Structure 1
Amino acid sequence: MRYDDAADAPALRSGSAGRAQQAAERVADLVAAARPGERLGTKEELRTRLGVSVGTFNETLRLLQARGLVAVRPGPGGGLFAAEQSPMVRLGNSVLALDAGTADVAEAIRIRDALDPLLIEDALWHASPADIAGLREHLDVMADAAKASDPVAFVHANWRLHARIAAISPNRLLASLYHGLLEVIETHTLSVLPSADRPLPDYIAERHRLHADLVDALDARDRDRALALIAAHNTGN
């Protein structure tokens, strides 16, 4: 098929970029489930598995390498391998397994923690009954992830809860900044692993209780309790 109309070119490039991004996310899922250094397959094996063209796969590979998710090794036995994970960032009694953005995540968590009390203050003043109901729906998702012993789903649900709290704030600049920080943290996180301090299921159950208590404090407009809980949240993270 020929595309004689030059106006079609941007749309075609956009479609290819979208397919490459989708393919990159599928490979990122494989990396998250693999051991560091584990072989994922040859380029052709992965391209066939993804069902994309050579050009789209090359763009997919560029995206994956830019995120530090895969390593390419030539020769017999070569192919794509799950990249060795960089140093971890602690998340209370668990750790975030990260890609190459470790420093970015550490700074994003630090700034996010500093903004949390401001957003809690805004939520105490401005949360409507509908807002509180929305927060409780996110708590339900966290509870389901905890029951399923799925730490990755739990942490992502946790972040969605905090994003929902941020959305209550009438300060659009503050909310936008907070959402941007969460995106940095989420984008660079490959998985959630236990530390040596405590079993991960115990930690997840405790964190769920803390967030449930926080939402109850917001509902009751209990400022002292809410601020004490967000302080405990951020010191334990």
Structure 2
Amino acid sequence: MDPVAGLARSSRAQAVAAAIEHEIETRNLEHGYKLGTKTDLRDRFDVGIGTINEALRLLVSHGAVDLRPGAQGGVFVASPAPFVRLGRKMLELSKDSVSVADCLMVRNALDPLVISQATQHRSADDIEALRRIADEMSQDSLSSMDFLRINWRLHLRILEIVPSPVVRHMYGSLMDFVQQRVLHVNEDVADRAHSRVVHRDLVEAIASGDQKLAAKAVSAHQNLLEGGNFPGGQERYG
């Protein structure tokens, strides 16, 4: 059975990205090796355009592939920058060396920088994309894990706006580590309702371009992260 079949789109994208990274590493594919076109990869993994685009965004953020336009373009194995290799080494430590709580602590410390940079550099397309994801969070039919995955997708979309590759790779690697280790969520209705408000305010603060408003929204978001009912420690994963 296809391992990505039956998964939510964000999960399918992560599975496709992981499979491609595994292939690059196990086959020791060199920089510049052509993995195929988007169409080739869609056909190979039997997924839609949205899923393959999301998978490629993950791979680019990991420094695993380059996307080249044109008739001779496609998806190529990238040559990771030194800080990307360092980021990977950080996450190759044993389970005892790196905990979810450790990663969340560093990720949360980076949040003010990420939100400030996103507020400064956001475009109209970015704002539209963020609002669309925030709208997805308002669906009452979502399971707790699906709600959390959309939450994470919102943060990763915010991260795409940040111009610093160092910040993008560090924050993205920490998010990947957390996502791969969260198996379930204990949540009540009040938690979700409050989270929706906080994340909507975060999006609107970024859209406004107002750094003071963004700082206030970050503060509210970090208050949301304190305490909580999620497994693996005393911090929420939102």
For the superposition of Structure 1 and Structure 2, which TM-score range results when normalised by the shorter chain? 0.5 to 0.7
1:131 to 2:119 alignment: no
Structure 1 gap segments, 5+ residues each: 1-17, 30-99, 195-199
Please tell me whether the aligned partners of residues 101 and 188 of structure 1 are also in contact (alpha carbons under 8 angstroms): no
Residue deviations 1:184-207, cap 9 Å, x none? 11100001013xxxxx11110111
TM-score, length of structure 2 as denominator length = 0.53
Shift in Å at residue 22 of structure 1?
5.8
Partner of 1:168: 161
Residue deviations 1:73-120, cap 9 Å, x none? xxxxxxxxxxxxxxxxxxxxxxxxxxx779521011101100011011
Match of 2:222 among 225, 229, 234: 234
Match of 2:175 among 152, 160, 182: 182
Residue deviations 1:137-195, cap 9 Å, x none? 11122112xx115211111111110001111011011011111111111100001013x
Partner of 2:191: 203
Amino acid at match of 1:112: R
Please give the root-mean-square deviation of Cα atoms over the aligned residues, in Å.
2.5
TM-score, length of structure 1 as denominator length = 0.53
Shift in alpha-carbon separation, 1:22–1:132, aligned structure 2, 3 A: closer
Match of 2:113 among 114, 118, 130: 118
Shift in Å at residue 236 of structure 1?
2.1
Structure 1 distance, partners of 2:151, 2:197, is: 12
Shift in alpha-carbon separation, 1:172–1:140, aligned structure 2, 3 A: same
Structure 2 gap segments, 5+ residues each: 12-94, 226-238
Structure 2 distance, partners of 1:229, 1:126, is: 17
Please tell me whether the aligned partners of residues 133 and 150 of structure 2 are also in contact (alpha carbons under 8 angstroms): yes
Structure 2 distance, partners of 1:191, 1:102, is: 22
**Which structure dedicates a bigger proportion of its chain to strand?**
1
Larger radius of gyration between Structure 1 and Structure 2: 1
Tell me the number of residue pairs that the alignment of Structure 1 and Structure 2 aligns.
Answer: 138
Q: Secondary structure at the match of 2:199?
A: helix
Point out 4+ residue stretches in structure 1 off by more than 3 angstroms: 100-103
Q: Percent sequence identity over matched residues?
A: 31
